Amino acid sequence: MAKTNISGWGNFPKANAVVERPDSEQTVRNLQQSHGIHIPRGAGRSYGDSSLSAAILESSKLTETLSFDAETGIFTCQSGKMLNTILDEIVPKGYFLPVTPGTKFITIGGAIAADIHGKNHHVDGCFSQHVLWLKLMMADGSVKKCSRTENTELFWATCGGMGLTGFILEASFQLKKIETSKIVNRTIKCENLDEVISNLLEHENYTYSVAWIDCGTSGKNLGRSLLYLGEHAKKEQVSNDDLSSYKTPSPIVSLPFNLPNWTLNKWTVKAFNALYYGKVRKKDSTAIVGFEPYFYPLDIANNWNRLYGSNGFAQYQFVIPMEGAREGMNSIMQEIVKSGESSFLAVLKLFGEQNQGWLSFPKRGLQLALDFPINKKSLELMNRLDDMVMAMDGRSYLAKDSRMKREFFESSYPKLPRFKQLLSEIDPNGKFRSLQSDRLGITTN
Ligand SMILES: Cc1cc2nc3c(=O)[nH]c(=O)nc-3n(C[C@H](O)[C@H](O)[C@H](O)COP(=O)(O)OP(=O)(O)OC[C@H]3O[C@@H](n4cnc5c(N)ncnc54)[C@H](O)[C@@H]3O)c2cc1C
C-alpha cells in the first residue's frame, strides 16, 4: 500500500502513513477491519499528531448534508462536511454556527472530536453542547447512536476524545439565528496584561471576546493588547446586507512553498506586532465588520503555516483557573519574554465552566495560545511552561499539542483513567490509535 508524507497544521511531527478516503459507512467498516491500527482524520487542521497513525481514515468523501430544517435550525450531516460549506448553506437562511474556531476549514468530525471552543465559550460553551446526537462506528464495526440520553458515556467520551472512541459518521446539531452577516466589533486598546484581563472580565456580558497580545514588549507594557468584543449585528444596525446571497470567500493569498526557517524571527515578529498594535489609534472604538474578518482573519491566506518553514511550528495553548490567573499569566509572559522566543500569534480568551466531555479542554479561567517555530530553544521553553501551567492547576489543549510532557497531561485531565477504562472495553485490541495517544500513554504502543 502506498504511503504518503503527512502532518498536522503545524507541520510537526511528520509521518509516513497510508491515507484512505472512505466514501460510505461500509467502506469505513471495511477499511477499519483491514488496517487494524488507524485513526480518523478530518481536514488536518489540528496542529500536532492527533490525526496521525500508521493508517489514516480521512473523511473528505463523507461531505453530504443529510437534512437542514430552516424552521428549527437543526442541521444534520456526514462527518467530513467542512464548516465553510455549512456556512454557505445556513447563512442565506439566517443561521450561524453555534460555536466556531478561528478557521472555517475544519470538519464536523474534527469539531466534535476536539470539542472545539470559540470566542463565545464563556457564554455558549463548546461545540458538543450544541450537538443533539452523533453516529459512531466502533472498533468492532458496529454503529452506535450517542447523545445526552442514549449511550451517554460514549457521547461524552467522544466529544473531545480525539478520534479514539471510534469514527464519527454523522452528527446533528443546533444552529444559532442571525439577522445579518455583520458583527458589531468594539476594540479596546489595553496597555498591559493587567488592563486587558480587567477588561475581559468587565465585559463578560459580550457574546464574543478575544484579545490579541503583543508578546514582544516587557516592563510596564508587558502583554499590551487589542481586545475585540463582538455581537451579531441586528437588521436596524446595518444597511445593504443581503444574507440570501452570502457565499464564503476563498483565500486570496497562497504560500506555494515553505519559507526559510528564519523568516519569523524575533525581529520580524517584533516589527509586525508594533505595526499591528499601532494601527489602532483610539482607546475604545466600534465598527461594523463582516463576520469573515472577525472570526476568520487567517483564512485569507492559504497555507499560511508555511511561513514557519520546513521545521514547522507548535501552538502552545493552555488554560489556568481564574484564581491566581493574573499573577499566573504575568509570570508566564515574563518567562516567554526572558526566553527571547517570540510568538507571531498570541491570543487571550476567557473560558466559562467546563462541560461533561471527559477530555474536553476548556475549564473556567483564562486561556492563552501562542505559536512557536520548532527549535531547541522553543522546545525547552514549552517544557518549562508545562511545569508552570501544571503548578497552576492548568491544562493544555490536545488539538494543538505535539510535544506535551506526559506527567502534565496525566495530572491535568482527571477523567483520563475513566477514558482509558472505556477504551479497554470498547476497543480491547487498541485499533484506534494516534501518534499522540501513544506518546501520551492514552493508548499503549
Ligand atoms: C488557524 C486555526 C485556528 C484554530 N482555532 C481554533 C479555535 O479557536 N478553537 C478551537 O477549539 N480549535 C481551533 N483550531 C483547531 C481546530 O479547530 C481543531 O484542531 C479541529 O479538531 C480541526 O478539525 P479537522 O477537521 O481539521 O480535524 P483533524 O485535525 O483532521 O483531526 C483532529 C482530531 O479529530 C479526530 N477526528 C477527525 N475526524 C473525525 C471523525 N470523523 N471521527 C472521529 N474522530 C475524528 C482526529 O482523529 C483527531 O484526533 C484552530 C486551527 C487552526 C489551523
Mutate to test the pocket of ligand 1, among 6, 32, 41 (most ligand atoms within 8 A of CB): 41
Say if 411 falls within a structural domain. Answer: no
Say if 335 falls within a structural domain. Answer: yes
Select from 178, 200, 216 the last residue of a domain.
Answer: 178
Closest C-alpha residue for ligand 1 atom 23: 110
CA-to-CA distance for 202 and 347, rounded, in angstroms? 18
User: What does DSSP assign to residue 445?
Assistant: -
Atom of ligand 1 nearest to the CA of 305: 53
Going by C-beta distance under 8 Å and a sequence separation of 6 or more, which residues neighbour residue 219?
none
Q: Give me 69's grid cell.
A: 430544517
Say if 317 falls within a structural domain. Answer: yes
Ligand 1 near 42 CB (within 6 A): yes
pLDDT at 38: 98
CA-to-CA distance for 316 and 296, rounded, in angstroms? 19
Select from 128, 146, 178 the last residue of a domain.
Answer: 178
pLDDT at 278: 78
Mean pLDDT, residues 108-135 taken together = 98
Say if 391 falls within a structural domain. Answer: yes
144 Cα–ligand 1 center, Å = 22
375 Cα–ligand 1 center, Å = 24
Mean pLDDT, residues 382-397 taken together = 98
pLDDT at 358: 98
pLDDT of residue 382 exceeding 80, the answer is: yes
Residue 186 and residue 135 share a domain: no
Environment class of 334 (CB within 10 Å of its CB; exposed 0-12, middle 13-18, buried 19+): middle
Q: How confident is the model at residue 93 (pLDDT cuts 50, 70, 90)?
A: very high
pLDDT at 281: 86
Residue 323 CB coordination number (10 Å): 12
Residue 322 and residue 202 share a domain: yes
Residue 328 and residue 211 share a domain: yes
Ligand 1 near 345 CB (within 6 A): no
Ligand 1 near 46 CB (within 6 A): yes
Environment class of 243 (CB within 10 Å of its CB; exposed 0-12, middle 13-18, buried 19+): middle
115 Cα–ligand 1 center, Å = 8
44 Cα–ligand 1 center, Å = 7
Residue 186 and residue 172 share a domain: no
Percent helix / strand / coil, the chain, rounded to 5: 30, 25, 40
Residue 211 and residue 333 share a domain: yes
Structure confidence by residue, pLDDT tens digits, 22-77: 999 999 999 999 999 999 999 999 999 999 999 999 999 999 999 999 999 999 99
CA-to-CA distance for 13 and 164, rounded, in angstroms? 19
Closest C-alpha residue for ligand 1 atom 13: 101
pLDDT of residue 270 exceeding 90, the answer is: no
Helix or strand (DSSP H, E) at 382? helix 376-391
User: What does DSSP assign to residue 9?
Assistant: T
Residue 319 and residue 388 share a domain: yes
Residue 202 and residue 122 share a domain: no
Residue 128 and residue 108 share a domain: yes
Residue 340 CB coordination number (10 Å): 10
- β-partners of residue 167 are 137
Residue 161 and residue 204 share a domain: no
Mean pLDDT, residues 350-368 taken together = 98
Say if 385 falls within a structural domain. Answer: yes
Atom of ligand 1 nearest to the CA of 117: 11
Ligand 1 near 116 CB (within 6 A): yes
pLDDT at 178: 98
Say if 7 falls within a structural domain. Answer: no
Ligand 1 near 10 CB (within 6 A): no
Share of the chain above pLDDT 90, in %: 83
Ligand 1 near 196 CB (within 6 A): no
Residue 69 and residue 213 share a domain: no
pLDDT at 179: 97
CA-to-CA distance for 134 and 78, rounded, in angstroms? 10
pLDDT at 341: 86
Q: How confident is the model at residue 274 (pLDDT cuts 50, 70, 90)?
A: confident
More confident residue, 290 or 217: 290
pLDDT at 251: 78
Q: Give me 136's grid cell.
A: 459512531
Q: How confident is the model at residue 445 (pLDDT cuts 50, 70, 90)?
A: low
CA dihedral 401, 103, 8, 357 (to 10 degrees): 40
Ligand 1 near 367 CB (within 6 A): no
pLDDT at 262: 65
User: What does DSSP assign to residue 362?
Assistant: -
Q: How confident is the model at residue 108 (pLDDT cuts 50, 70, 90)?
A: very high
Give residue 130's domain range.
Answer: 65-178
Residue 219 and residue 172 share a domain: no
399 Cα–ligand 1 center, Å = 6
CA-to-CA distance for 220 and 214, rounded, in angstroms? 13
Q: How confident is the model at residue 261 (pLDDT cuts 50, 70, 90)?
A: low
Could you tell me which of 159, 166, 79, 84 has the C-alpha nearest to residue 116? Answer: 159
Q: Domain count of the chain?
A: 2
Give the full edge-to-edge strand order of the sheet including 131-137: 65-69, 74-78, 167-174, 131-137, 143-146
User: Is residue 201 classed as helix, strand or coil in its secondary structure?
Assistant: helix
In this structure, what CATH number is given to the domain that contains residue 148?
Answer: 3.30.465.10
Say if 366 falls within a structural domain. Answer: yes
Q: What is the mean pLDDT of the chain?
A: 94
For 362-375, b/e burial (b = at least 16 CB within 10 A) is bbbbbbbbbbbbbe
pLDDT of residue 255 exceeding 80, the answer is: no
More confident residue, 98 or 262: 98
Q: How confident is the model at residue 218 (pLDDT cuts 50, 70, 90)?
A: confident
pLDDT at 417: 98
pLDDT at 424: 97
11 Cα–ligand 1 center, Å = 14
Residue 286 and residue 355 share a domain: yes
Closest C-alpha residue for ligand 1 atom 18: 46
Mutate to test the pocket of ligand 1, among 7, 24, 46 (most ligand atoms within 8 A of CB): 46
User: Rounded to whole angstroms, what are the CA distances from 8 to 13, 15, 92, 124, 248?
Assistant: 8, 9, 32, 28, 24
Select from 140, 155, 178 the last residue of a domain.
Answer: 178
What's the gap between Cα 234 and its chain centre?
28
Angle of helix 325-339 relative to helix 376-391, nearest 10 degrees? 160
In this structure, what CATH number is given to the domain that contains residue 269?
Answer: 3.40.462.10
Q: Dump strand ranges (E) for 202-312.
A: 208-213, 225-232, 253-254, 284-290, 301-302
pLDDT of residue 368 exceeding 70, the answer is: yes
Ligand 1 near 158 CB (within 6 A): no
Say if 418 falls within a structural domain. Answer: no
Would you say the C-alpha torsion 252, 248, 127, 418 has a positive or negative sign?
A: negative
Angle of helix 325-339 relative to helix 193-202, nearest 10 degrees? 140
Ligand 1 near 126 CB (within 6 A): no
Structure confidence by residue, pLDDT tens digits, 180-214: 999 999 999 999 999 999 999 999 999 999 999 98
